[in-house]
Amino acid sequence: MSDQNPVFIPGPTNIPDRLRAAMHVQTRDHRAPDFVETFAPVLEDTKKVFDTRDGTVITFPASGTGGWEAAICNTLSPGDKVLVARYGMFSHRWIDLCQRHQLEVQIIECSWGSGAPADKFEAILTTDKAHDIKAVLVTHNETATGVKSDIAAVRSAMDAASHPAMLFVDCVSSLASMEFHMDAWGVDIAVSGSQKGFMLATGMAILGVSPKALAAMEDAKLSRTFFDFRDMMGANASGGFPYTPPLQLIYGMRESLKMLFEEGLENVYARHFRLAEGVRRAVDAWGLKLVADTPDLYSDTVSAIYVPEGFDSNALTDQAFNAYGVSFGIGLGEMNGKAFRIGHLGSLTDVMVLSGLATIEMAMADLEYPVELGSGVAAAQDYFRRHRAALVRSAA
Ligand SMILES: *Cc1c(COP(=O)(O)O)cnc(C)c1O
């Protein structure tokens, strides 16, 4: 099987040659004087992607889940109350993590396909006169359903309730691919990882932390060692790391930031919108339905698509893999068997997306879906021709 085929899973994403090359480095001494020169600018430049001036960037050798754990453990105490809405597998897993840390989790159950309910947050926060709720946790881009939530609206809701809770946002599958404005949205901790928008191998949890979250650290009683912000920030202050850093990933991150800035973040977001829109035109032409309830919720990094009644989405993704050597996202949790996902984030071009659409159409035809071969590709081609990409040759 050829490794030239891109993956269409919503992370880990395709690693461009330029980043594979950047990570292909021999061991270097992280206590040597030149480590500072490598690492400090990476932390500083990552702030631009979070769009924060006041925040601090903290990374750990971990996947995104480790980032969630770090956010919680550094700022909260056992028994603290947090408010979360559950509308997909990732919001669900964050809830589970909080519960295992003995936090009291107030859950708003929402249908899968909906987004963060700012109005319900506001109503609950308004009645919490004692300010028992210490943090509101929101998954910006619910990767299981392809739903993007409006973080600015959540911030407005919190402000309208004059509630001092911190706002923690999971932006693992949105950062560096969809607009994110940490300071403007008043986000206290934003959690991301290396293997999605940054187009790198998995292994670096990447957090943006506000001054308010850093202040909360002083009283936080949850135990932490590996994920202690204080150890990390203390070492980072002199350009170091409290233990062995994932050096190859840091080199990769340096190059990834270069690529993102060369393309321009605005263009990166526009490209993701365009690619997503091409996919959505294809879904429409197939006569299939997205899991996301309404257009304002459509994610630009992943589309979750219901298969027609009587079909099994796992058989479809298996067929695409077995017959054509291409991976698509399976349906997670409640969506298992009912929906498949097309990841369209990271290192992708119009041409690559067209190849993915063509492949899944072949798999659908093989399984006798009531879908006309070529219809989705034609709809995406039409969209891409009318919305030409600004070619950034170095970004591919
Ligand atoms: C990928 C992802 C995560 C993190 O998962 P890891 O496998 O731990 O990196 C968290 N939240 C969302 C929304 C994700 O898409």
Tell me the pLDDT tens digit for each residue of 67-107: 999 999 999 999 999 999 999 999 999 999 999 999 999 99
* For residues 41-69, average pLDDT: 98
Domain residue ranges in the chain: 2-11+263-395, 17-261
Which residue blocks in the chain are alpha helix, DSSP H? 17-23, 34-50, 64-75, 89-100, 118-127, 151-160, 211-216, 229-237, 247-263, 265-286, 313-324, 350-366, 375-386
pLDDT for the residue 371: 97
* Both structure tokens of 77: 């105490």
Omega before 6 cis (within 30°)?
A: no
pLDDT band at residue 389 under the 50/70/90 scheme: confident
Q: Is the pLDDT of residue 396 over 90?
A: no
Minimum-distance ligand 1 atom for the alpha carbon of 171: 13
Minimum-distance ligand 1 atom for the alpha carbon of 11: 1
* For residues 11-40, average pLDDT: 94
If you average pLDDT over every residue of the chain, what do you get? 96
Q: Which numeric CATH code is attached to 2-11+263-395? A: 3.90.1150.10
Task: Tell the residue nearest (CA) to atom 4 of ligand 1.
Answer: 64
* For residues 296-307, average pLDDT: 98
* Both structure tokens of 172: 């693992």
Tell me if 2-11+263-395 shares its fold with 17-261: no
Q: Report the pocket of ligand 1 as residue ranges, CB < 6 Å.
A: 11, 63-65, 90, 139, 141, 143, 170, 172-173, 193
Task: Tell the residue nearest (CA) to atom 12 of ligand 1.
Answer: 172
pLDDT for the residue 1: 57
Cα of 212 vs its chain's centroid, Å: 23
Ligand 1 mean position, distance from CA 115 (Å):
17
Ligand 1 mean position, distance from CA 378 (Å):
32
Minimum-distance ligand 1 atom for the alpha carbon of 66: 8
Domain 17-261 in this protein, CATH class: alpha beta
Q: Which of 63, 174, 204 to mutate to test the pocket of ligand 1 (most atoms within 8 A of CB)?
A: 63
Q: Is the pLDDT of residue 53 over 70?
A: yes
Tell me the pLDDT tens digit for each residue of 185-216: 999 999 999 999 999 999 999 999 999 999 99
